[in-house]
Amino acid sequence: MDNRDGYIWVNGEMVNWRDAKVHPLTHGLHYASSVFEGERAYNGKIFKSKEHSQRLLDSAKILDFDIPYSIDELEKAKYEVMKANNLKNCYIRPFAFLGCEMGLQGTGVPVNTVISAWEWGAYFGGDKMKGLNFNIAEYRRPDPKTAPSKAKAAGLYMICTISKNKATSEGYDDSLMLDYRGYISEATAANIFFFMKDGKLHTPKPDCFLNGITRQTVIQLAKKVGIDVVERHIELDELKNVVECFVTGTAAEVMPVRQIDNKYKFTPGKLCEKMINEYDKAVGKI
């Protein structure tokens, strides 16, 4: 990603893409004092931009540092980055991390704020309606008393990267992660939904993982079209009652799943199609 044309917004300045560097002795790199967002713009408009900026500020607060920019300043900067890179349909990655200092103590360490953007097509690629194939991750989402699970913080992605690597090396697309209690939680970078035999849309209660902005959007959209949504703890064995399944995320958008753990199989059909369609309309894609 370092050798590209373009510009990255670094602490208020537009920097040439190739000149945007960090020193190796950066707190964020050593101790994961780093938070980030993933956003998408469709036809020049960033979907739920302010909600993402708010989450970025909140994530930093949870990690005990303050980002020195307001929501409006971040808003302006994101659009400046898009303009500088001549982008209208793109992925945007704002992030903030503690700068050059060693030793665990984070207070007093300078905060860096960076915004980059680039064209990024379908996160899972390929034919949507074929659906994804998931294994079950060995790692579990931690107890909120063990890790700051409400923050979109780099440190929480360590187990996601390991799980994703293992899944893809074994021929799966991604992993379904359970939580510390053994309930179904989410995929490595997306929330999960199940249309069950009762005709309702069920999704895990986000009490120890990210309550995704796409997840919240899809819940509203489903309710709007008359689908009952149930947020609750879901056991793995309940997958035998699933008719259709999909995951949601800014990068993944709405993406059907066809198999979990080699034994739970679903055929992506009309219900997934409906939610894809509603989401694509909401973000301004169609």
Ligand X SMILES: Cc1ncc(COP(=O)(O)O)c(C=O)c1O
Q: Which residues bind ligand X (CB under 6 A)?
A: 38, 186, 189-191, 210, 212-215, 248-250
Of 94 and 109, nearer to ligand X (C-beta) is: 94
Q: Which residue is nearest to ligand X (CB)?
A: 212
Question: Looking at 48, 78, 150, 152, which residue is catalytic?
Answer: 152
Residues paired with 191 in a beta bridge: 186, 248
Beta-carbon count within 10 A of 118 CB: 16
Residues paired with 248 in a beta bridge: 191, 254
Please give the span between the terminal C-alpha atoms of the chain, in angstroms, as a whole number: 30
Backbone angles phi, psi at 217, to 5 degrees: -65, -45
Sign, CA torsion 111/117/118/119? positive
For the question of residue 88 being annotated catalytic, the response is no
Residues 60, 64: Cα–Cα separation, whole Å: 6
Nearest to 227 by CA among 185, 278, 267: 278
Of 111 and 283, nearer to ligand X (C-beta) is: 283
Of 109 and 218, nearer to ligand X (C-beta) is: 218
Rounded to the nearest whole angstrom, what is the least distance from the CB of residue 46 to ligand X in the complex? 12
Let me know the angle formed at the C-alpha of 281 by 192 and 185, rounded to the nearest 5 degrees: 10
CB 208 within 8 A of CB 152: no
Rounded to the nearest whole angstrom, what is the least distance from the CB of residue 283 to ligand X in the complex? 11
Of 28 and 249, nearer to ligand X (C-beta) is: 249
Identity of residue 169: S
Rounded to the nearest whole angstrom, what is the least distance from the CB of residue 102 to ligand X in the complex? 28
Of 123 and 266, nearer to ligand X (C-beta) is: 123
Rounded to the nearest whole angstrom, what is the least distance from the CB of residue 266 to ligand X in the complex? 20
Rounded to the nearest whole angstrom, what is the least distance from the CB of residue 190 to ligand X in the complex? 5
Q: Which residues contact 122 (CB under 8 A, 6 or more apart)?
A: 128, 253
Residues 211, 222: Cα–Cα separation, whole Å: 16
Residues carrying an active site annotation: 152
